[in-house]
Amino acid sequence: MKLARLLCALLLACLAAPLAASAQESGKLVAIQQRKYRMGVELELGGMFEPIDAFSKGLAPEGSLTLHFDDDWGWEVLRGGYVARLNTSLRTQLERDFGVDPTAFDSLQYYASSNLIFSPLYGKFALRNSSLVHMQAFLSFGAAYSHFTSYYAAAPELGAGLRVFLNNTFSVRFDARDAYFFGLTTKKQQNILFLSLGLSINFGGNDG
């Protein structure tokens, strides 16, 4: 028994010596770089696709203005678009074969929203080991206001997005947002998914 204890003590001593040494050595190694891309005032121009309405799909020219307070937080002051509708075959069939009145389909016509933007993720990818692509992922939460065919509605809005930096001035931005609209003068409710893609122009930040 004593021999076993002695062996255990020896083993522990042997293990502890390198551990102590490595603990002393264990400094933290970090690469600290100047952030290559920083946003200031962002003007975005692009398009929106609204995919989940079964009777028609929406396509809209869209624009937005965002103020970035720092690298993490920003306020999308205004985003808005005017929607063109593309009827699905289901709607055509309902109208043609079953005589459904076109006014029965309430669809999004134009909209505006305002959101807080939180961008916790910023990073880079190596493109074929020859260049770097910098990206930023963000979350948005705020409120939206819109006009459907026969009523006005307001909604809380939640979303997520991804930005690919082209240079200090231009970036490509993709947004996916969901808004659940409540009619202001009716009890109608509607869930709308906005898929937006646009080119952002950055003023301020480190574009100079």
Partner 1 sequence: MIAAILLFAAAAAGEADAPPPAAATRQLYDEALAAHGKGNPRKGAALFFQWLRGSPRTAEAYDSAQHLLAEELHSLGLLHAALVYETTVIRSRARPELLPAALDRLQAWAAEAPHDEDRFEAEALRGGDFGGVEGPVKAYVAFEQGAADLRAGQDRWSEARFAELPESSPFRFRARLLTAAVRLSRGGPAEEALHELHELATDKSSPREVRNEARISAARLRFEAGEFEQALQLYDAVDLPELDPGRGQIYLEEAWTHYRAGQGGKAMGLLAALEAPSFRNLFLPEKFLLRALIYKDACHWLTAKRTARGLLRRYAGSLQAIQDRLPLLDDAQLAEAALQKGAGRRAAQLVAQLAKERDKLDRLASAWKDSGLWDSLAELYAGAQAEAERKRQLELERGVIRAADELLRAAEQVSLVDYEVGLALYRRARQAPKSQLAFQTVDPERDEVAYGFDGEYWNDELPALRFGLKNRCAEGVAP
Question: Is residue 20 part of the contact set for partner 1 (CB under 8 A)?
Answer: yes
10 Å Cβ neighbour count for 114? Answer: 18
Range in contact with partner 1 (rule: CB under 8 A) among 30-38, 40-48, 112-120, 190-198: 30-38
**33 part of the interface to partner 1, by CB under 8 A:** yes
Indicate whether 70 belongs to the interface with partner 1 (CB under 8 A).
Answer: yes
Closer Cβ to partner 1, 25 or 97, answer by number: 25
Asked whether the beta carbons of 181 and 149 are under 8 A apart, the reply is no
Do residues 41 and 65 touch, judged by C-beta distance below 8 A?
yes
Q: Of the two residues 74 and 198, which places its CB atom closer to partner 1 in the complex?
A: 74
Angstrom distances, CA of residue 80 to CA of 34, 51, 65, 110: 34, 17, 9, 7
Stretch that binds partner 1, among 24-32, 110-118, 156-164, 176-184 (CB under 8 A): 24-32
Q: Which of 1, 4, 13, 29 binds partner 1 (CB under 8 A)?
A: 29
* Residue 179 CB neighbours (<10 A): 24
Which of the stretches 27-35, 84-92, 168-176, 184-192 binds partner 1 when contact is defined by CB under 8 A? 27-35
Binding of partner 1 by 131 (CB under 8 A)? yes
Q: What is the dihedral of CA 148, 55, 100, 155, to 10 degrees?
A: -30
Instruction: Please select the residue that binds partner 1; options are 9, 21, 86, 116, rule is CB under 8 A.
Output: 21
Residue 64, judged by CB atoms within 10 A of its CB (0-12, 13-18, 19+), counts as buried
Contact positions vs partner 1 (CB under 8 A): 20-21, 24-25, 27-35, 38, 70-71, 122, 126, 129-132
